[in-house]
Amino acid sequence: MPTWPTQAECRRFYGAPGTNQTILTLPYAMTYDGKPVTRMTINKKCADSAFRALTRIASEYSAADRKSLGLSIYAGCYNNRVMRGGSQLSMHAYACAIDFDPNRNQLKWGRDKARLAKPDCEAFWRAWEEEGWLSLGRARNFDWQHVQAARL
């Protein structure tokens, strides 16, 4: 399992925002804002790991299940911005974070409301966690849409 940097170490590890990126071809069908997407921009250092996690998700869930659970609703990876409500760069600025199904997993929602917090999503989280990625939902009970290749 890869050991990812802490959030404070991301610039040194991943490089400046907007650098060291690659295109990852998605291993299963996804949509972004209702439109089909087949690729995402992601940091080179975590691209292989993300591909392994997504490939495992594709093998664990049928296309119908991925759709109903929101695992096929891609909400972004690279976005050069600060964290919501903060002054530090977001993990999205380093292209080492991916969001899924934001409408049913809103930022401030906890496990009582977030769709991805339900037991039928356990294999989704195991796929990421076995690659060392962190779920803010599972770690801090907010932002269940978000997974990142960085430690807190």
pLDDT digits (tens, 9 = 90+) for 89-100: 999 999 999 999
Partnered with residue 98 across adjacent β-strands are 147
Contacts of 55 (CB under 8 A, 6+ apart): 27
pLDDT tens digit sequence for 102-143? 999 999 999 999 999 999 999 999 999 999 999 999 999 999
Q: Is the pTM of this model over 0.75?
A: yes
pLDDT tens digit sequence for 13-65? 999 999 999 999 999 999 999 999 999 999 999 999 999 999 999 999 999 99
List alpha helices for the chain, DSSP H: 10-14, 44-60, 63-69, 122-129, 136-140
Question: Which pLDDT belongs to residue 63?
Answer: 98
